[in-house]
Structure 1
């Protein structure tokens, strides 16, 4: 039997690691080694070994309309560990215990001279994590039941904090419990998107120059949410943040008039990511947000978003523009897809052209990212990072700056 068809956990684990490498999410030999060391299947005993090592999330606690807790997709686990870069001797806090698997990886990376504390709001989740960690030899991991927004001061300060649930805001406890110069990796929500942001703690704020697209179960507890949702048309919704001057009522006829599509000249191949365009929009457009369309609306021709449920848009008054479905090109025998924007409303063409400006900006340097900073909510304008879009949440003032 070859590794390609083997169901032995060791062979499936090797296949998982190879997939993560092929996807470009393995950033160090140390992380590669711990992914080969920790038996992922033992943290999800109800799943088959094949499912445990597949590149997918596995629910361990169902919720009303979405999972309440799960084991994360392996590529995302590796990507976030790369952003966190835990070192031997580090003291690490994990918000969101899940199965305990991520805590075991962290324990391997920090060694016996370091420490790992993992916290979860669900007592049955922490019981699962505690049992799995004990059974796999990671008794030294501290497992705490509580609201992760409060952190765990008992073992603070932490060199590294990693959040494996999706908050819309950053609670003060995380800043207070993070050591100066420490790293906070958090899948933060803003302007309709969620990105894993690798913040470094400075004297007065957090600063990041690296973020990656991701998706996590929304955080519950005392962390506030400020995402608003409203209908634009039948089967089309708009998602925006509470600090934005957006009124969906002003857009209720936006799809009934003329539309304009502007093409950028920038193109991608199949499965090539272009999510940084959304990131640049949040650094340049105060009205950056998200539209979501059901299949029925797309089939009826109401709109043609690049992605049905998660497409970046710009709203200004009674007009909007969104990243439109790419059109196929044939360049030198290679099938490529050109990116563009479609605008609706009186100023739809102008908004589409502005969105296309950010597509072209991304195209000039596809790896570049804006700087993201987070300050306490009472920080004065004069003390904020200059030149960016300010996003006001309850606990922080966030600045995304080109």
Structure 2
């Protein structure tokens, strides 16, 4: 272990293209941290900084706690020595991990962290409206997640706040960039009446309360009594008096307080909730994160055209925890993949897939095909995902986790196509050409006939790249509710997504 930690990474044999650049980037980051530490500009020690990033990387990769503890313990032993018993059972390794995690709590100034967050989002374009930017400055996000350290409160990540008995996250406070995106989509203004579906910690409702003052009012609902109580307390402690936190089903809305000028869902839906849509005032706007097919969803801002069709004034990539415990539930089945590792597969009710075959799918025959389609630094995957969600038989499903032999296209996992007893997931291989570094998209198929679905996915990727890849303009969206769905047509039926309550049409330029 000591030899591994002290090895010169640049001397690695048979390194793939781009390896030396990645090593150089890590070394540059290390030297930068050293300079900051020497100049007294770090609010934490180097060990705390590195520990924080290690824990973040572990969690992002869905590494189980016991394995995180083992890695932390081995690293500590290799780096600092000691007479620790190397034969200790894995269950006993949780103690060093707990001590490591506890070092993250700091006394850093939350005001500075909040200002830094606002500066980042202003530069990135997540925050554009002065009123929303000021609300982000004024509302102390860390007060709404007191169990998290202050750095996590202002990092751009969702923070879990509730899990089900099986350990599945069922509520969280959204990443602040997603909060900013949705508030910009909503365009809540002074005097507006607003309904929010998904109270969580009360943070978003508090921001809304500031945005609609003076004269406006916010009702935020949640299905969990404990979350309602906590959110209500947070709102009161923040000094907000124009927000009511209500125990109710977001998909049913609050007809006694309708109509609303703005309706915002901070939970995901599989379809348009018609009951709530009917509570929107004329000229109003509803922001709804809605699944398109499989795991692919977007946050839509809909406005009524007056004839049962709805225009999309904004559409952003976003994934939210689904509605539950109510009339608009969007339930999915998460299938654990057998064998070593922690790979899971998300499947939804509309997908035609042999769920009994999926747990052992990565042990089925395999076929790998590379597409020739190259992504460069800064390339965006979102429109390829949307294209595949529309043209493939069952859309795309998230497949997070790691295991030997699983070669996903991102560190967190991959997106997979499903069809019956077959699965094909996305992968990449890195290379260099006269334009610089690239990542070529590949597809790895599994099943009785592994090439069948893999070849279908490959052809779909090549079609997208040929007709809509590169710098092509993004698609637009149209929506109609049940009674007016026949008013929406498309030249290519693959881009007409029919649901129980609505029809969504994707228009590719």
SS at 1:335's partner residue? strand
Per residue, is there more strand in 1 or in 2? 1
Instruction: Report the equivalent of 1:358.
Output: 464
Instruction: Report the equivalent of 1:281.
Output: 388
1:285-296 correspondence runs (5 A): 285-290=392-397, 292=399, 294-296=401-403
The counterpart of 1:17, out of the listed 118, 140, 162, is 118
| Post-superposition offset of 1:41 | 2.3
- Verify the 8 A CA contact 2:477 2:506 in the aligned structure 1: yes
Instruction: Report the equivalent of 2:230.
Output: 128
Instruction: Report the equivalent of 1:56.
Output: 157
Structure 1 residues 99 and 401: alpha-carbon distance in aligned structure 2, compared to 1, 3 A threshold: same
Instruction: Report the equivalent of 1:214.
Output: 318
- Verify the 8 A CA contact 1:178 1:201 in the aligned structure 2: no
Query: Does 2:143 align with 1:42?
Result: yes
- Verify the 8 A CA contact 1:373 1:398 in the aligned structure 2: yes
- Residues 25-49 of structure 1 show CA distances to partners (whole Å, capped at 9, x for unaligned) of 2232322121111122222334443
Structure 1 residues 11 and 89: alpha-carbon distance in aligned structure 2, compared to 1, 3 A threshold: same
The counterpart of 2:133, out of the listed 14, 32, 37, is 32
SS at 1:129's partner residue? helix
1:82-97 correspondence runs (5 A): 82-97=184-199
Equivalent-residue separation in structure 2 for 1:232 and 1:49 (angstroms): 35
| Post-superposition offset of 1:373 | 1.9
Equivalent-residue separation in structure 2 for 1:122 and 1:253 (angstroms): 36
Per residue, is there more helix in 1 or in 2? 2
- Verify the 8 A CA contact 1:260 1:349 in the aligned structure 2: no
Equivalent-residue separation in structure 2 for 1:120 and 1:82 (angstroms): 22
Q: Which runs of 5+ in 1 are unaligned?
A: none
1:1-400 correspondence runs (5 A): 5=43, 7-64=108-165, 65-189=167-291, 190-202=293-305, 203-208=307-312, 210-222=314-326, 223-225=328-330, 227=332, 239-247=346-354, 256-257=364-365, 259-269=367-377, 272-290=379-397, 292=399, 294-296=401-403, 299-300=404-405, 304-307=407-410, 311-315=414-418, 321-323=424-426, 325-332=427-434, 334-342=436-444, 344-346=450-452, 348-365=454-471, 368-376=474-482, 379=483, 382-386=486-490, 387-388=492-493, 389-400=495-506
Equivalent-residue separation in structure 2 for 1:239 and 1:318 (angstroms): 15
User: CA RMSD of the aligned region, Å?
Assistant: 3.4
Structure 1 residues 350 and 55: alpha-carbon distance in aligned structure 2, compared to 1, 3 A threshold: closer
- Verify the 8 A CA contact 2:479 2:502 in the aligned structure 1: no
Equivalent-residue separation in structure 1 for 2:355 and 2:168 (angstroms): 26
Equivalent-residue separation in structure 1 for 2:160 and 2:357 (angstroms): 40
SS at 1:364's partner residue? coil
Equivalent-residue separation in structure 2 for 1:3 and 1:239 (angstroms): 44
- Residues 367-401 of structure 1 show CA distances to partners (whole Å, capped at 9, x for unaligned) of 5134152523xx47633343443444444344444
- TM-score (normalised: structure 1): 0.83
Larger Rg belongs to: 2
Q: Which runs of 5+ in 2 are unaligned?
A: 1-38, 44-106
| Post-superposition offset of 1:248 | 5.6
- TM-score (normalised: structure 2): 0.67
